[in-house]
Amino acid sequence: MSQPAEAAGITHRLVASPAGRLHLVEQGSGPLVLLVHGFPESWYSWRHQLPALAAAGFRAVAVDVRGYGRSSRPADVAAYRMVELVEDNLAVVRALGERTAVIVGHDWGANIAASSALLRPDVFRAVGLLSVPYAPRGGPRPSEVFARMGGEEEFYVPYFQDPGRAEAEIEPDVRGWLAGFYAALSADTMPPAGAPDPHFVSPGGTLRDRFPAGRLPAWLSEEDLDVYAAEFERTGMSGALHRYRNMDRDWEDLAAYDGAPITRPSLFVGGALDPSTTWMADAIAAFPDTLPGLVAAHVLDGCGHWIQQERPEEVNRILTGWLTHLGDISYQSVTERR
């Protein structure tokens, strides 16, 4: 199995965290920018951003979230609740000898980044959200909301929440499943309008039944797929899936932040063809209230879900421009909510 050569100048490190250890990859020097991946990915999803941010004068650090890659994988499902992941990010900042950081996340990483800026604005001085917009805690318990979606079909979130069920589908053929999942949400390979939605499971079926087959998206080489598959073949899928299994716990843990805005400077970048953008259009429309520090919002035409890999050059221009602009913003002290 071949793997792509890693870019010159990157450094792999293990740092202590409440999870045990966190693996990270860093490149460059300057103000710290913490990059948090989503499901089902790893630090490698930021491979195009690390050198670009380093060249722009930043210390770019991409982590393996707990449960992924070379980071620790606690056995307890509750260990993957959001407040624990925020503590991991704080541990990374401290381990790197920094006091503050800008945090940028994609997919689940966007939720983790948003929660980090919400809970600890004293440390995370700005937040960038890719693909998944910020939506404050509120409304009914998440499991109740997702259970009502799809009618006779089952939405993928409840499917993932049932321990062992998704693992049984994925783990016999990790590489093939990942290829189909990535293709289903990529602009150039996603199912056409009117085809069965790959976010839903038919009675007695699996998610994979609706994945496109036969072609990788343009952004994903065979070698890139090898990297992702090798990580999950080694670790299994449970650590990654446990994030979905804590949504109700998060709703309970963050009750004090019901409806709370994120006041730190922020950025949103979404893909016009990404269901995360279209399904959450109301959340984007609410940004004047929920992200009062929003510096810019971009929706990229013809782009799917894997935004920083599908459109790396464009995302790099947006990120470096925003980060450079942040240097001109005078930050006021923010009192931590308790």
Residues 6+ away with beta carbon under 8 Å from 78: 246, 249
Q: How far is CA 103 from CA 37, 83, 93, 149, 152, in A?
A: 11, 16, 10, 32, 39
Residue of 107, 224, 250, 274 marked catalytic: 107
- Give, as one character, the DSSP assignment of residue 141: -
Residues 6+ away with beta carbon under 8 Å from 94: none
Output the CA angle 210-164-3, nearest 5 degrees.
Answer: 65
Active-site residue, 305 included: yes
Task: Identify the H or E element spanning 101.
Answer: strand 101-106
Report helix, strand or coil for 244. helix
Rounded Cα distance between 311 and 184, Å, is 17
What distance, in Å, lies between the first and last C-alpha atoms of the chain?
50
Active-site residue, 106 included: no
Rounded Cα distance between 84 and 88, Å, is 6
Residue of 23, 106, 199, 305 marked catalytic: 305
Rounded Cα distance between 338 and 332, Å, is 19
Place of tokens 């966190």: 22
Residues catalogued as catalytic? 107, 305
